[in-house]
Amino acid sequence: MTNTEKFAKDFAEDVFDAFAKAYGQPRNPEVADSVYPSWSDAGIKLGWADPDPRVVVVGTESGWISDPFSHENDHGKWESVCASLRKVWGNVQWDSINAGVHIVFIDISPEWMKLIVKRSVGKKS
């Protein structure tokens, strides 16, 4: 597993855990896979978000995690999830693609992004 794959996996696991605290554990294993990195094979195949290790796709059609706009309480849970993730990951936000697909993502400042790209390009040679 590459460092990028590990980063994407670790972030997705933390997103999953934060939603499990907000909504409780999924009732069955089939709905547990509704939270996955956009960087993963599943994320790339479905194509809801560009592959990015900082982006986790959250499917709400399964009923385990509710659409953030379905109720004021759910919107608050999504905000709470991001607030808890910010303690570890920095600037974490969420956005909605449609009623059944949403993303949780790390928004890195342009200054950090320049540094990350510079360092990763330097390590490839």
pLDDT tens, residue by residue, 52-100? 999 999 999 877 999 999 999 999 999 999 999 999 999 999 999 998 9
pLDDT > 80? residue 115: no
- Per the structure, the count of domains in the chain is 1
Which structural domain, as residue segments, surrounds residue 112?
3-124
Stated pTM of the model: 0.85
**Calpha distance 87→99 (Å, rounded):** 28
Q: Are 25 and 57 in contact (CB under 8 A)?
A: no
Q: Name the one residue in this structure whose structure tokens are 């978000």.
A: 49
What pLDDT sits at residue 124? 52
Give me the residues paired with residue 5 across strands.
none
